[in-house]
Structure 1
Amino acid sequence: MKIALLGTGFGQAHAAVYAARGDAEVVMFGRDAEKTAKAAGQFGFASSTGMDAAFEDDSFDLVDICLPIPLHAESVLRALQSGKHVLVELPLADSVEDAKRVAQAAAHSDKHVFVDMFERFIPANQALFDAVRQGTYGQLEHLTLWNLTAHLWPGASLGLKILPLEAMHSDMDIITCTLGLPQDLTVTTVARDEDSGAIDAAFRFERAAARSTVSSLMPKSFGARGGYTASFEHGVLDASSSMGFDGKPTGAVTAYTADGARELDLPAADQYTAMIGHVMDVLDGKAANQIAPDSVLDALQLTLDLDQKVNGTR
C-alpha cells in the first residue's frame, strides 16, 4: 500500500502506526521542506512539499489527510476525483453541507472514504456500544462523558474556540451512536484565557439524558483523564482512563448490576493502531467500512450545534 500522508502535525501519529506495521510505503507531505523532512525522517519515510503529487501521482493508493479542518472536505473530494481511497482526520468538515457533499461523493465512488472516528475502536467504548445494541442491561437512560486534561501538547491551544470541534467531537459521536440526536442542548462555559477553558454540555432526549464535560484547566501533573458512566434500566457501566507523561493510557470498565460489580475483561488496544488496522482490512476486503462519511453526519451536526452555542457564528 502506497500512502500519501498530508500534514506534519497530527500526521506524525498516523506515521508512527504505519511505520510499526511495515506494510506501507509512505510519503509525508508538508509546506515547510525542513520541517517535513525532519518529521518524515523519524519514521524512515520520504518527504515532499509538492502537495499536488499526492493527488496526481497514480502510484498512491490512499491519501491520508491530516490538514487543518477547513481543508478536509475539499481535499477528500479532490482525492476521490483522482481515484484514491481517503482517510481524513476528524471532523470530516467544518459544515454539514460540505460533509454531505463528501458523503454523497463517497456513495457514488468505487473508492473508500474513512473518517478517523478513533473513539469507536477504544475497547471501553465498544463495550458501551455493544451493551446498547444488544440490550444487555435494558434501555440506556443516562450517559455522562468527561475528559479533563492538562496542556500536554506544547504550543497547542485548548481554549473555547478549539474544544468543541477538536476535543468534543468524539463525545458527540458516542452520544449520537447510542442515543441519536437530542431534542435540546444547553451549554455552560468557563474561560481562563484564550488557550484554557472548560465546557459542560447537557442533552435532553425523549427518554434519556446525557452530559459531556471537557476541561483544559488541569495542572501538568494531572495528566489526562476521562471516562463515562452509562446508566441503564438494569445496570451501570462505569469506565475510566488516565494518561501520564509517558503517553501510555491505563483504564478499566466495571459493570454494576443487582448481582454485584464485575470488571469487564477487555482487550488491550491502541485506538489509532486499531483504526488504521481497520482501514487496511477494509482495503484488503477483510471488513466492511465502519467509519464511512455517512456514519458521522449526526455527530458532526451535534458538534457544530455545540460549537454554535459556545462560540456563536464563526
Structure 2
Amino acid sequence: MKIALLGTNFGQAHAAVYAARGDVEAVMFGRDPEKTAKTASRFGLASSTDTDAAFEDPSFDLVDICLPVPLHAEYVLRALDAGKHALVELPLADDMGDAERVAEAAARSGKHVFVDMFERFIPADRVLFDAVREGTYGRLEQLTLWNLTAHLWPGASLGLKALPLEAMHSDMDIITRTLGVPREATVTTVERDEDSGAIEAAFRFDRAAARSSVSSLMPKAWGARGGYTATFEHGVLDAASTMGFDGKPSGIVTAYTADGPHSLDLPPADQYTAMIGHVLDVLRGEAENRIAPDSVLDALRLTLDLDRQVSGPR
C-alpha cells in the first residue's frame, strides 16, 4: 500500500509509524525542499514538493493529511475527487458546513475517510468506553477530563485561539461518546499571553455533569499530563497518563468500588500506531471504519461552540 503523507510538522508522528511497518510505502510531501527532504530522511521515507502528485499519481492508495486545520476539509474533498482514500488529522474542519460536506461526500464516494480521533485508541479511554457501554459500574454520573502541558512543540501556539480545536476536541469526543450532547456549556478562560492559556469548560446533562480542563501554562519540567475521573453509580474509574510528541503515553487506570481500589491491566499500545493500524485494517477489508467523518460531527459541533465562546466567530 502506498501512502502520500502531506505535512512535515505533525506528519512526523505518522511518519514514525509508517517507517516501523514493512507493509506500506510512504512519501512525505512538503513545501520547503530542504526541510521536507531532511525530515523524510529521518524516517527513511522518500520526499517530494509536488503536492499535486499526491492526488494525480495513481499509485497512491491513501492521502494522509497533516496540514493546518483550515486546509483539512479542502484536501479531503480533493482526495475523494481523485478517487483516493483519505486520513486527516483532527479536527475534520474548522466549520460545520465544511465538515458535513466531507461526511456527505465520503458517504457517496465509495472511498474511506478517516479522522484521527486518536483518543479512541488510548487503552485508558477504551476502558471508559467499555464501562459505559456495558454498564459495568452502572450509569455514568460525572466525568472530569484534564490535560495540562508545557510548551513541548517548538513554534506551536497553545494560546486561547488554538486550544479549543487543538487540545479540547478529543475531550469533546469522549464526552459526546459517553454522555451524549450536553444541554448547556459554560466556559472560563485564563490568558498569560497569545501563546499560553487555560480553559475550564463545564457541561450540563440530564442527571449528569462533565468538565474539561486544558492548560498550556505548565513549566517545561512538568511535561504533558492528562487523565480523567469517571464517577458511576457503583464505582469510579480514575486514569492518569504522561504524554509526549512521540505519541506513546504511559498511563494507569484504577477502579474504585465497594470491594476497594484495584489497578486495571492496560495493553501495551500507543494511540498513533493503533489508529494507523486500524486504518490499514479497514482498507484491507479486515475491520469496519470506527473513525469515519459522520462519527465525529457531534464532538466537532461542541468543540466549535467552545471555540466561539472563547474566541468569537472565526
TM bucket (normalised to shorter chain) is over 0.9
By how many angstroms is 1:248 displaced?
Answer: 5.3
2:166 aligned partner, one-letter code: E
2:228 aligned partner, one-letter code: Y
- What's 1:55 paired with? 55
Contact 2:13–2:245, Cα closer than 8 Å, also in 1: no
Whether 1:5 and 2:5 are equivalent positions in the alignment is yes
- What's 2:108 paired with? 108
Secondary structure of residue in 1 paired with 2:109: coil
Taking the TM superposition and a 5 Å limit, the aligned residue runs for 1:3-42 are: 3-42=3-42
Alpha-carbon separation, structure 2, partners of 1:213 and 1:201: 6
- What's 1:120 paired with? 120
Alpha-carbon separation, structure 1, partners of 2:244 and 2:178: 29
Structure 2 CA distance for partners of 1:56 and 1:245, relative to 1, 3 Å: closer
- What's 2:236 paired with? 236
- What's 2:169 paired with? 169
Taking the TM superposition and a 5 Å limit, the aligned residue runs for 1:180-259 are: 180-243=180-243, 249-259=249-259
1:38 aligned partner, one-letter code: K
Secondary structure of residue in 1 paired with 2:120: helix
Contact 1:222–1:244, Cα closer than 8 Å, also in 2: no
By how many angstroms is 1:155 displaced?
Answer: 1.5
Alpha-carbon separation, structure 1, partners of 2:282 and 2:250: 29
By how many angstroms is 1:247 displaced?
Answer: 7.5
Secondary structure of residue in 2 paired with 1:262: strand
Whether 1:298 and 2:279 are equivalent positions in the alignment is no
By how many angstroms is 1:152 displaced?
Answer: 1.0
- What's 1:82 paired with? 82
Contact 2:63–2:79, Cα closer than 8 Å, also in 1: yes
Contact 2:55–2:84, Cα closer than 8 Å, also in 1: yes
- What's 1:159 paired with? 159
Alpha-carbon separation, structure 2, partners of 1:31 and 1:245: 22
Secondary structure of residue in 1 paired with 2:210: strand
1:32-82: CA deviations, max 9, x gaps?
111111111111111111111111111100000001111110100110111
Identity %: 81
Secondary structure of residue in 2 paired with 1:108: helix
Contact 1:3–1:26, Cα closer than 8 Å, also in 2: yes
- Give the gaps of 5 or more residues in structure 2: none
- What's 1:67 paired with? 67
TM value normalised by structure 1: 0.98
Alpha-carbon separation, structure 2, partners of 1:75 and 1:147: 29
1:122-156: CA deviations, max 9, x gaps?
00000000000001111100000000111111111
Structure 2 CA distance for partners of 1:208 and 1:272, relative to 1, 3 Å: same
Alpha-carbon separation, structure 1, partners of 2:166 and 2:246: 22
2:3 aligned partner, one-letter code: I
By how many angstroms is 1:245 displaced?
Answer: 9.6
Identify the range of structure 1 (18-27 vs 245-254) with the bigger mean alpha-carbon deviation: 245-254
2:220 aligned partner, one-letter code: K
Contact 2:198–2:214, Cα closer than 8 Å, also in 1: yes
1:264 aligned partner, one-letter code: L
2:49 aligned partner, one-letter code: T
Alpha-carbon separation, structure 2, partners of 1:245 and 1:283: 26
- Give the gaps of 5 or more residues in structure 1: none
1:235-283: CA deviations, max 9, x gaps?
1100001247997532100111111111111101110000000001111
By how many angstroms is 1:211 displaced?
Answer: 0.1
TM value normalised by structure 2: 0.98
Alpha-carbon separation, structure 1, partners of 2:247 and 2:304: 29
Structure 2 CA distance for partners of 1:168 and 1:244, relative to 1, 3 Å: closer
Secondary structure of residue in 1 paired with 2:202: strand
By how many angstroms is 1:23 displaced?
Answer: 1.3
Alpha-carbon separation, structure 2, partners of 1:219 and 1:110: 47
